[in-house]
Amino acid sequence: MRIFIAGIDGYLGWPLAMHLALHGHEVHGIDNMSRRSLVKEVGSHSAIPIKELHSRVAIFKRETGMEIHAGYGDLRSHDSLLYYFKSFPPDAIVHLGEMPSAPYSMIDEKRCRETHDNNVGGTLSILWAIREVCPDAHLLKLGTMGEYGVPGVSIPEGDFEMQHRGRTARMQFPRQPGSFYHCTKVHDTCNVEFCCRIWGLRATDIMQGVVYGTRISTSYQDHAELATRFDFDSIFGTVINRFCAQAVAGVPITPYGKGGQHRGFLPLKDSIQCLTLALVNPPEPGQYRVFNQMEDTYNILDLAEMVKEAGETLGLRPTIQLVENPRIEAEDHYYDVDHQKLLDLGYVPTSDMRREISEMLTDLLPWKERILKMSRSIAPVVTWSGR
Catalogue the active-site residues: 144, 181, 185
SS3 94: strand
DSSP conformation class of 256: B
Q: Which residues neighbour 376 within 8 Å (Cβ) at sequence distance 6 or greater? A: 43
Of the candidates 299, 292, 325, the residue with the CA atom closest to the CA atom of residue 178: 325
Residue 261 has φ and ψ, to the nearest 5°, of -65, 135
DSSP letter (8 states) at residue 222: G
Based on its alpha-carbon atoms, the radius of gyration of the chain, rounded to whole angstroms, reads 20
Report the SS3 class of residue 6: strand
Calculate the dihedral angle through the C-alpha atoms of 119, 189, 68, 55, rounding to the nearest 10 degrees. Answer: 30
Cβ neighbors of 331 (< 8 A, separation 6 or more) are 257, 258, 259, 260, 261, 325
Q: Are 68 and 29 in contact (CB under 8 A)?
A: yes
Task: Please tell me the distance from the alpha carbon of residue 174 to that of residue 149, in angstroms, as a whole number.
Answer: 9
CA separation for the pair 162, 169 (Å, rounded): 5
Give the C-alpha separation, 74 to 78, whole Å. 8
